[in-house]
Structures are given as C-alpha cells and as structure tokens.
Chains A and B, each alone.
Chain A
Amino acid sequence: MAQYLALTYTADVDWFAPEQAEGLAEYRQFAREDADSILASAVLHPTSTATIVRVAGARGGDVVTADGPYAETKEALTGYYLLEADDLDAAVAVAARIPAAWNGAVELRPVIRWN
C-alpha cells in the first residue's frame, strides 16, 4: 500500500456560507463512500484567513508574519485528503470521486514512507 496526499484546488470559498451547503454535502458523501481509502483529511478556511510566516536570516531570527495567501491564483488550496491505495491507478480512481476534481483540480502527491 502507498499513501498519496490529494490536495484539492478549487474556488477560494468560505465553506460556512449557506450557498456552500450543497457542495459540502457532496464532499461528505465522498468521505462516507470512500472512507476505507481516507486516512486523514481537512477542509481549510479561505485564503483570506491565511498567515504567511517567515524567519529572517536563520533559525532564531525575527519572525515576520504577513497576510496570506502565498501565491495569488484563481484556484486555491482548499483542503486535502491523505489517501491509501495500491498504486497510482487506484489513487487516481479515488481522486476522481473528490468533488474538487470536477470543480477545479486534485493534485496527487506520493507520500514518502520512512521505514
């Protein structure tokens, strides 16, 4: 078994907004139906709530915070699923059921396993 981080890139929405209820329900349905493949997941607040943190110079330097997002793009990182799958084809099949796949894009990144 391999692990993949499925990063969802979609419109930068506030999931608490009433008009997102229907969309959120689609994600919940995916999470229910594919529960066996999902090890962890998170839904993110919109990028307007993001904070960028940098430390000037080297470790212990001044902490510099700034208002996010790191990169201004049309589609923002809005959440992730940590998936477990036999191989890339199996992971793609699961990722294709995440609503973000048709509302934006899903980036599948293989996770390094330290053993």
Chain B
Amino acid sequence: MTEAYDRLAETVRVEGARVLATLVRTVGSLPVAEDAVQEAVLAALRDWPRTGVPAQPRAWLTVTARRKAIDILRRERARADKERDGGDLMELSTPDLPPESTVRDDQLRLIFTCCHPALSPDARVALALRTLCGLSPAQIAAVLLTTEPAMAKRLTRTRQKIAAARIPYRVPSEADLPGRLAAVCGVIHGLYTSGHAPLGGEVAVDIDVCAEAVRLGRLLHDLLPDEAMPAAVLALMLLTEARRPTRIDDTGDVVLLADQDRSRWDAARIAEGCALLDASLRCTRGVADPYQLQAAIAAEHARAASYAETDWAQIVRLYDLLLTVAPSPAAALSRAVAVAEATGAAAGLAALEAIPSSARWHAVRGELLAREGRYAEAVEAATRSLTGELTSPERLYRERRRASWATMAAR
C-alpha cells in the first residue's frame, strides 16, 4: 500500500470514530452504530482512491453512516416484525451536521461508556481501540497480542454487557467524576505502555499504539481542559514519546539513556509536556497523583543537558513520593536505579534487597554488580534476567552484557 493510501485510511478511521460518537446517541445502540460506521468507512476506502477525497470528508462519512444506520434499523425492524416509533430514523434523515459542541459531548460520553469500571480492564482497552480509535478487530488483536476470533468474541461480549446491564451513555456526575476519570486515564496510559514496552517477540504491527494513546490523551484533555489527571497523563506520554526514537538504534539495538543522542529528542514535545505538567500541578495544588509524579520524573530526564547533569537526587525524591501514593515493584526498581546513580552502585544494590525479584530486577542487579567489579555474580544475574518474555532487542542487549562480563570475570 502506498503512503498516500495509508494517510487516507488514517483520516477515514479517525473521522469514522468521530462520527460514531454521535451516531451511538442517535440510534441508541452501540452495535448498530458501529456496523453503520464500519460500512461507511469501507465505502470510503473503496471509492475515494478512485473518485478522489470529497470536499468535505467528514460530512460525507456522517451522511453515509446515517444512511447505513437507517438501512440496518429497517432490516432489523423487518426481521423483528414490529413497529417502533420512527423518531430515531427522523433524526438520522436530517442533512445537517451536528454542531461541534454536540460532537464533543458525544465523544466524552462514549469515552466514559467504553471505560466504565463495570467492564473488565481488558475489555475497556479493546473497546476503546475499536470505538475511539476506529481500529478493526484484526488490528486490535495484533496490538494486544491475541487472535482475531478471540478479539471479536471479547468485543461482542463487551457490547452485550453494555446493552444488557444498561451501562449508560453519559458523562458521570460531578461526584463520580474523579473515580471515573481515573478509569479513563488508566485505559489511555495502559494503551501507551502496551505500545512502548511490548512483551516478547518482534511485533510487526502497522498501527502505532503509542500514537493512538497520545491521540486519545489529547482528545480527553481537549474535552476536559480543567481536569488535572488528563493533563498529567498527556504530559507523561509526550515526555516519554519525545525520547522514543532514540531508545533503539538503526540496527534495532537498545540504546541506554546514558548513550542516547539528546539532540534528537523532540524539543517541542518536551516543552509541551512540561507546560502541561505545570498546568496540571496548578489544578491539584500540591497533592500529586501518580501520573504527575511519573511525568515529573520524565521531565527531569528530558530537561537534563546530559546524563551526567541529571539531578538524580531529585529523581530519587520523586520516586519516594510516587511509592507513597502508588507503590509498585516497577517503580521501586526504577528508584533503586536512581539511587545507584545518585549515591553509588552499593547503595543501589542495598535498595534492591527490599524489592521482589523479576527478570528486570536481575538485569538491574547485574549492571550494578558489574559496576562494583563483581563480574562473576553479574554474569549469574544476567543469566537469570534472560528467563521469561523479552523483546528481541532487549534479549540481545542483555546477552551482550553477559558476554562482556564473562570476559571480565575470566581475567
């Protein structure tokens, strides 16, 4: 496929997701709206490369999706052999486009429905990719490392639950908003993480999940600009995203933070991320949430002119705060690395003692042992770090480290 076609496909996908949000409210059924938009999207992908993109692609998709929805509802009615009031069909037949404010409200409603806490976290992520990002079940299956039939089944079950349990299509009340917003932010950040650190194997995916997560983060922040958490999540993703291209070199090898070419970091994203973080912190007045703290840590790294000039003591302090509000072995492990940089490898090794071991724990321990000149132990730690699922660049890197330490140990 050509680049022009890919761009067209992305436009159609993103616009389709926008159209879906309003159509769900109008027809009152997620499956019907999804099918209608799907048919409109397929028609666009079939016709536009031949006829050219219409002057107003959004209007074309809106009108086509409505027409498809009318067809689907008529078919369903004929099959069910019952008369329903034609109210929804009337609204679908109007030629006017919904005003921007309506589309925004509809998008927000759809976000909260897809990320409802009554749905399992896996179901939320899958549904968000389907309805908010417009990905096909096959694409979602590739992104989430499962099979297309399994994904189709999960999506069907999720839609059934929404319909049977009557999960509302509504922005939650002021009182419920903080908890519900946390669930939405969890989905978006989880999505970003799944793209940033895929588990195992070489994943050939034509969809950039990180870019999709950033898009959703932007949408949420755009819809709720005064809420601290969406701003913090977007800041965290942008600050991480700014450094992403330098994490792997041209040959696909891992490049450590210390060795990354900082001139290639995306300065615009870093500036935007820092500004969003500041704005988010102003909203919460001092009580930092986990996203703000992780963004603050990312900002420290992004702002340091070189690895040597990194303010490790400040990063350790931020990890200490993070561990008080959201304790996790991953954060504790990152704190141990920061401690080693701030006060030496021995202190880092001491910090590791209190953390449950994992493949990454052994990898960190190997690095710190090698720094202390304890190469034989470092080799052993590296070996244990190679068990379990790893991306192939990560595996190659650790194997190389182990080989070099083995040479040192033999001297």
Contacts and interface: CB of A to CB of B under 8 A. Distances in A.
Interface extent on B, as a size class?
Answer: 10 to 19
B118 A110 contact: no
Contacts of B165: 4, 88, 108, 110
A89 interface: yes
Interface in B93-120: 116, 118
Nearest to A92: B118
A87 interface: yes
A101 interface: no
B376 interface: no
Contact of B118 (A2, A86, A88, A112): A88
Interface string A1-19: 0101000000000000000
Contacts of B168: 86-89
Nearest to B166: A87
Interface string B124-167: 00000000000000000000000000000000000000001111
Interface in A94-115: 108, 110, 112
A86 B166 CA distance: 8
Main secondary structure of the interface of A (DSSP, over half): mixed
B172 interface: yes
A89 B164 CA distance: 13
A13 to B, nearest CB: 28
Contacts of A87: 166-168, 170
B183 to A, nearest CB: 13
Nearest to A4: B165
Contacts of A112: 164
Contacts of A2: 166
B111 to A, nearest CB: 15
B118 to A, nearest CB: 6
Contacts of A4: 165
A73 B116 CA distance: 29
A108 B161 CA distance: 12
A2 B176 CA distance: 21
Q: Which of A2, A87, A91, A108 has the most CB of B within 10 A?
A: A87
B324 to A, nearest CB: 26
Contacts of B176: 89
A5 to B, nearest CB: 12
A81 B167 CA distance: 20
B164 A110 contact: yes
A92 B166 CA distance: 11
B219 to A, nearest CB: 23
Nearest to A115: B82
B113 to A, nearest CB: 10
Interface in A1-42: 2, 4
Contacts of B167: 87-89
Contacts of B116: 88
Interface in B156-191: 164-168, 170, 172, 176
9 contacts: A86-B168, A87-B170, A88-B166, A89-B168, A89-B172, A89-B176, A91-B166, A92-B118, A112-B164
Q: Return the 4 tightest CB-CB contacts between A and B, nearest first.
A: A87-B168, A87-B166, A110-B165, A110-B164
Given A4-B165, A87-B166, A110-B164, 19 more contacts: A2-B166, A86-B166, A87-B167, A87-B170, A88-B116, A88-B118, A88-B166, A88-B167, A88-B168, A89-B167, A89-B168, A89-B170, A89-B172, A89-B176, A91-B166, A92-B118, A108-B165, A110-B165, A112-B164
